[in-house]
Amino acid sequence: MELLHLFRQFECDRNVYVGESAPKRQEAKKTSEAVSEPSYEQMEKDAKRHIAVAEGILKDVEDFSGFKIDRKDPEKVYPELRKKPNLQLAISRIVQNIVDLQQAIRKRDVSLVKLGMSSNTLRTYGPEYYHPKYGVTSPGDPLFAVWAPTKESYSYAKKGKKKEKRESQELSPEVQIAILAERYHELNPKNRRYLTSKGVPENELKDNDTEGKKEIEIAKNKDRRERSAISRDILALVRRVKPIKAGDTEVYANVAIQRSENGENYMLVIRDPSLPNVWDVAYIGKADVRNAKREAGKKVAPDVAANYASYKLDETEVASKTA
């Protein structure tokens, strides 16, 4: 019996299980690590206990000497201690230690909150089950004991989630459409001033500067592609608010959208929110690709825009939609 005990002790000390399968050895290693390393909860408790002890001594010093120690300023010099450099140094050092330790504890809690904001896994399992390095763990897992956060950090994570929800609700689809509409107009190649990598404006390019012309064409194409993506994003937002039936038109503060009779294509009239009299027309759809290429980005004068009778884009309607 004694021999068996010594044998097991040997295995435990060296993280080996003689005669066992590899998974069991792995499991033994995990258990051994969990036993040898204190949990985060224990460490945090220990850190807070040390802070409390240090605070107690600082209070004693204050009571005895009659001056107040600034807990936020480790570099503060106390005239009362001008003949006691050791005490001055010890106070500075301990205040610095307390500040650093409190920051480290807070930082760890905050990183957990950030984790909660970004990870779907964390939302599913809760912060106490997820660690960036160890992944999803459960209370039965030895690794869980190594890093498990405190209840306090869990409550931070919950607050973080609430905040995220509120923020995402703040931007209504109408506001998002307005932002996208403004960006759509900003990227109109006709409104932009393009420069080559050498700083030459497009209108000052020489005929033989093929390199410069190529650069500007690439930049314009990039803007066109982004505008095309924006028009699709606007359509997606509008459809999220209310699906458009074939042949119908929906009017928002900055955008009017008409769906074709066959339901395959959409035509968007996008108003520049910062320049209410400027409109652009964009086409989205399989059959109108050629038209889209030709028409997208075309600036439409207000009277021309008004000719799109089906859009009913008179100011009163726009105003009522805005309200």
Partner 1 sequence: MDEDTQKIADLTKALDQSIHQLKKAYNEYKEDADHEKEDPEALLDDL
| Strand (E) or helix (H) holding 120 | helix 120-125
**CB-nearer residue toward partner 1: 108 or 299:** 108
**CB-nearer residue toward partner 1: 44 or 250:** 44
Tell me if 135 contacts partner 1 by CB under 8 A: no
Query: What span, in angstroms and rounded, lies between the C-alpha atoms of 119 and 65?
Result: 52
Tell me if 57 contacts partner 1 by CB under 8 A: yes
List all residues 6 or more positions away from 319 whose beta carbon is below 8 Å from its beta carbon.
Answer: none
Q: By CB under 8 A, which span of 50-58, 166-174, 242-250, 280-288 interacts with partner 1?
A: 50-58
C-alpha pair distances (Å), 323 with each of 182, 252, 315, 319: 19, 11, 12, 6
**CB-nearer residue toward partner 1: 145 or 296:** 145
Tell me if 136 contacts partner 1 by CB under 8 A: no
Tell me if 131 contacts partner 1 by CB under 8 A: yes
Query: What span, in angstroms and rounded, lies between the C-alpha atoms of 100 and 95?
Result: 9
Question: Which letter does DSSP use for residue 263 in this model?
Answer: S
Tell me if 47 contacts partner 1 by CB under 8 A: yes
At residue 133, what is the residue type? K
Q: Which of 89, 171, 175, 241 binds partner 1 (CB under 8 A)?
A: 89
Query: What span, in angstroms and rounded, lies between the C-alpha atoms of 254 and 252?
Result: 6
Tell me if 116 contacts partner 1 by CB under 8 A: no
E-only strand ranges, the chain: 130-131, 135-136, 249-251, 255-259, 266-272, 275-284, 298-300
Burial class (CB within 10 angstroms; exposed 0-12, middle 13-18, buried 19+) of 257 = buried
Tell me if 46 contacts partner 1 by CB under 8 A: yes
Q: Which of 107, 163, 245, 293 binds partner 1 (CB under 8 A)?
A: 107
Query: What span, in angstroms and rounded, lies between the C-alpha atoms of 307 and 252?
Result: 17
Smallest distance from partner 1 to CB 138, Å: 18
| Strand (E) or helix (H) holding 6 | helix 2-14
Helices (DSSP H) in 187-274: which residue ranges? 210-241
Query: What span, in angstroms and rounded, lies between the C-alpha atoms of 100 and 93?
Result: 11
Q: Which of 14, 59, 71, 93 binds partner 1 (CB under 8 A)?
A: 93
**CB-nearer residue toward partner 1: 50 or 192:** 50
Smallest distance from partner 1 to CB 83, Å: 7
Smallest distance from partner 1 to CB 277, Å: 56
**CB-nearer residue toward partner 1: 44 or 272:** 44
Q: Based on DSSP, count helices (H) and strands (E) in the chain, helices before strands.
A: 12, 7
Identify residues 21-40 at the interface with partner 1 (CB under 8 A): 37, 40
Smallest distance from partner 1 to CB 88, Å: 8
**CB-nearer residue toward partner 1: 53 or 287:** 53
- Which residues of the shown chain bind partner 1 in the complex (CB under 8 A)? 37, 40, 43-44, 46-47, 50-51, 53-54, 57-58, 60-61, 64-65, 83-84, 86-87, 89-91, 93-94, 97-98, 100-101, 104-105, 107-108, 111, 131-133, 146-147
